[in-house]
């Protein structure tokens, strides 16, 4: 609510998005440097967990993967917005090079690259997978936007398949590049996924979590009760290593602690955000990257929350809220009005 009040105009909302993107890029650079120079330190204190993974300013690598994934999406959306549609011909590229936006595009491209490297170094399997889905969502939304504009402005005698074919080839090329980057920089993550497979301890305790959720439904066991109640459902065959303070699944722990009320609140929040960003897709043109980014970020957080507890970490929850608020403002502000005027 505070972020919605602060970023209540297009200018303020876009400024907040750019500030988050640039500051996140700087954080990714600092995190990479610290991981290479002092991998056993977490800011100014000794690092006691995930010594082989980059965690940035977070303790858990999955939370760091959610953060760097969101920063990656932000910089990618701003990069594509700065690029516009330069075309594929030499003359088109030359005209674009003389625009002022090229420097912004180069800057966002730099922060995109550093956040991508930081994401790979976290070795988070779910974080990397959810980020790939979110990037694909962002590219598909942008592809549809460009193709629709071209259909409107194209003469009736022009072929209709060429723009779709060109954009489809561009999308395929970008996806192939992403997988190539994954192979180059994500070797540690792929090796961890291949070595552990489905042998992760989370899969062993999942039947116990499901049993606990079923027994506590529909009223729930109470907020912050998982660590106290779950040991009674834990299978001894899974071993005694570790204390399960969270369910590693945002939805299951929400139902476990808050019951049916959590389902209702989560559905209302999710559907309202979907409606806001859908409105933005329909009514925004110059700032359409806002709702596109909002839907992609929502997809990333929603997928990763099924495998981890990033949203239950206060610092990550605040970042997600501060990110979604300006994107909602961009989506809901009526187009054609002064961006400096306040809208209720």
User: pLDDT grade, residue 340 (50/70/90)?
Assistant: low
CA 296 → CA 62, 116, 191, 293, 309, distances in Å? 18, 16, 27, 5, 19
Query: Looking at 52-66, 94-108, 140-154, 247-261, which range is the least confident one?
Result: 140-154
pLDDT more than 70, % of the chain:
74
pLDDT higher at 87 or 296: 296
Distance CA 181, CA 192 (A): 17
| Residues 222-234 as b or e (16 or more Cβ within 10 Å = b) | eeeebeeebeebb
- Name, in order, each residue with C-beta under 8 angstroms of 76's C-beta and a sequence gap of 6 or more: 108, 112, 135, 138
Please tell me the predicted confidence (pLDDT) of residue 48: 86
pLDDT surpassing 60 at residue 189: no
pLDDT higher at 50 or 90: 50
Residues in the chain: 344
Phi, psi dihedrals of residue 222, rounded to the nearest 5°: 110, 150
Please tell me the predicted confidence (pLDDT) of residue 45: 86
Model pTM above 0.85: no
pLDDT surpassing 90 at residue 323: yes
pLDDT surpassing 50 at residue 158: no
Question: Could you count the other beta carbons within 10 Å of the beta carbon of residue 150?
Answer: 17
User: pLDDT grade, residue 64 (50/70/90)?
Assistant: very high
User: pLDDT grade, residue 165 (50/70/90)?
Assistant: low
Please tell me the predicted confidence (pLDDT) of residue 238: 76
Longest alpha-carbon distance in the chain:
71
| Residues 65-74 as b or e (16 or more Cβ within 10 Å = b) | bbbbbbbbbb
Please tell me the predicted confidence (pLDDT) of residue 234: 82
Q: Encoding tokens for residue 230?
A: 């779950």
User: pLDDT grade, residue 148 (50/70/90)?
Assistant: very low
Kindly report, residue by residue over 303-314, the tens digit of the pLDDT. Answer: 999 888 889 999
CA 36 → CA 29, 55, 57, 213, 214, distances in Å? 11, 12, 14, 42, 45
Mean pLDDT for all residues in the chain = 80
Kindly report, residue by residue over 95-137, the tens digit of the pLDDT. Answer: 555 455 677 888 899 999 999 999 989 888 888 888 888 988 8
Please tell me the predicted confidence (pLDDT) of residue 198: 47
Please tell me the predicted confidence (pLDDT) of residue 66: 94
- Can you give the residue ranges of every domain in the chain? 2-149+163-332
CA gyration radius, the chain: 22
């Amino acid at each position: 609510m505070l972020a919605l009040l602060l970023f209540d105009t297009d200018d303020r909302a876009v400024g907040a998005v750019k500030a988050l993107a640039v500051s996140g890029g700087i954080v990714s650079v600092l995190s990479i440097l610290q991981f290479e120079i002092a991998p056993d330190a977490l800011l100014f204190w000794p690092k006691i967990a995930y010594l082989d993974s980059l965690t940035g300013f977070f303790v858990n690598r999955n939370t760091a993967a959610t953060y760097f994934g969101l920063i990656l999406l932000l910089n990618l959306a701003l990069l594509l917005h700065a690029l516009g549609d330069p075309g594929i011909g030499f003359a088109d590229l030359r005209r674009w090079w003389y625009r002022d936006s090229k420097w912004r595009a180069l800057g966002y491209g730099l922060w995109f690259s550093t956040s991508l490297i930081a994401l790979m170094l976290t070795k988070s399997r779910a974080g990397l997978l959810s980020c790939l889905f979110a990037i694909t969502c962002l590219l598909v939304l942008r592809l549809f936007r460009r193709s629709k504009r071209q259909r409107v402005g194209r003469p009736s005698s022009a072929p209709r398949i060429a723009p779709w074919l060109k954009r489809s080839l561009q999308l395929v090329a970008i996806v192939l590049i992403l997988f190539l980057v994954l192979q180059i920089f994500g070797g540690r993550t792929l090796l961890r996924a291949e070595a552990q497979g489905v042998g992760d301890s989370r899969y062993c305790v999942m039947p116990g979590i499901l049993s606990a959720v079923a027994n506590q439904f529909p009223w729930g066991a109470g907020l912050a009760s998982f660590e106290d109640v779950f040991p009674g459902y834990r299978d001894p065959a899974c071993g005694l290593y570790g204390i399960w303070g969270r369910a590693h699944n945002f939805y299951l722990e929400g139902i476990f602690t808050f019951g049916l009320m959590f389902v209702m609140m989560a559905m209302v929040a999710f559907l309202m955000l979907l409606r806001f960003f859908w409105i933005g897709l329909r009514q925004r043109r110059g700032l359409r990257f806002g709702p596109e980014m909002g839907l992609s970020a929502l997809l990333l957080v929603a997928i990763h929350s099924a495998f981890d507890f990033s949203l239950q970490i206060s610092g990550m929850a605040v970042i997600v809220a501060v990110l979604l608020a300006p994107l909602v403002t961009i989506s809901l502000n009526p187009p054609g009005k002064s961006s400096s005027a306040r809208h209720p």
